[in-house]
């Protein structure tokens, strides 16, 4: 999405500049002028989009992780379970880090993945809820969601007035969240634990809801076409339905 948005805006800007420069030639050489405008705009846009995407991948994400995470000193209690989950899910090259804000998130670039969880959230979760959240984040890495979400987020920051990008990114993000929920349940068999963890994480993520990185966190709820998150009630209802299908009916959440 970052590439498409960069390409669109650079193509538009280059076309405008070249059209302005060659306007006088159009009346004498209309076909040549049009081909020149389209060709030069295409080449410049492809080069610019490729260069900016490379810079974003190489530098921006590493700096973002440095600002958002630290060594998992307070997460040592869940490190063993995290290692077991990575093996069970077939996800390698992923490290566990402590999130400095928000709830929990994951990101993966160049074959190296990071799952981060805030100590506050970790302290509020039961062991089953912790496993469910970690499996949710590992599912994003397993599905290749993390880099796409990060790039899309950078695109929103760079081009906040791109309506198509905002709509598409929001729709894809919502579906990716629901798919990660489903995979978490498949690998842990704990839909009720994930449902309750999402409710807890929602309050942890609320402080980051207006930031440019809000869409990275596991918690969150929204309404409308521009929301990055599925409606919280809908997510919980889907998980409750999965629990009913799995004949897990011994929770207050189901009774509610």
Strands (DSSP E) contained in the chain are 69-70, 94-99, 104-109, 112-117
Between 2-6, 15-19, 158-162, 225-229, the lowest mean confidence (pLDDT) is in: 2-6
Mapped onto helix, strand or coil, the DSSP state of residue 117 is strand
What's the pLDDT score for residue 225?
74
* Angle value at C-alpha 56, between 55 and 59, nearest 5 degrees: 75
pLDDT at 231 exceeding the cut of 80: yes
Which of 106-120, 173-187, 213-227 is predicted with the least confidence, judged by mean pLDDT? 213-227
Instruction: Read off the pLDDT of each residue in 150-178 and give the average, rounded to a whole number.
Output: 71
User: Residue 65: how many CA atoms within 13 Å on its side-chain side?
Assistant: 23
Residue 210, pLDDT above cutoff 70? no
Give CA–CA dist 22/79, Å, rounded. Answer: 63
Nearest of 169, 152, 80, 65 to residue 114 by alpha carbon: 65
Residue 143 has pLDDT above 80, yes or no: yes
Alpha carbon separation from 200 to 45, 81, 124, 238 (Å, rounded): 44, 20, 8, 17
For residue 102, the model assigns a pLDDT of 78
Confidence (pLDDT) at 215: 52
Average of per-residue pLDDT across 218-224:
62
Predicted local distance difference test score (pLDDT) of residue 56: 66
Bridge partners (DSSP) of residue 192 are none
Q: What is the mean pLDDT of residues 52-76?
A: 73
């Amino acid at each position: 999405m970052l590439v498409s948005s960069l390409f669109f805006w650079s193509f538009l800007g280059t076309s405008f500049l070249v059209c302005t420069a060659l306007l006088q030639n159009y009346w004498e050489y209309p076909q040549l002028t049009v081909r020149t405008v389209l060709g030069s705009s295409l080449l410049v846009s492809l080069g610019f989009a490729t260069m900016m995407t490379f810079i974003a991948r190489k530098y921006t994400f590493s700096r973002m992780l440095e600002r958002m995470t630290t060594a998992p000193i307070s997460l040592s209690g869940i490190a063993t379970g995290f290692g077991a989950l990575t093996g069970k899910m077939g996800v390698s090259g992923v490290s566990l880090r402590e999130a400095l804000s928000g709830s929990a998130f994951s990101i993966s670039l160049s074959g190296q993945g990071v799952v981060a969880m805030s100590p506050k959230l970790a302290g509020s979760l039961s062991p089953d809820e912790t496993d469910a959240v970690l499996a949710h984040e590992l599912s994003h890495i397993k599905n290749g969601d993390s880099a796409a979400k990060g790039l899309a987020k950078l695109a929103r920051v760079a081009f906040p007035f791109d309506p198509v990008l905002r709509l598409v990114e929001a729709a894809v993000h919502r579906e990716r969240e629901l798919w990660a929920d489903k995979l978490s349940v498949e690998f842990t068999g704990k839909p009720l634990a994930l449902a309750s963890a999402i409710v807890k994480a929602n309050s942890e993520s609320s402080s980051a809801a207006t930031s440019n990185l809000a869409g990275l966190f596991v918690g969150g709820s929204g309404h409308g076409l521009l929301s990055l998150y599925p409606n919280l009630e809908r997510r919980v209802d889907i998980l409750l339905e999965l629990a009913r299908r799995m004949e897990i009916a011994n929770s207050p959440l189901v009774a509610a």
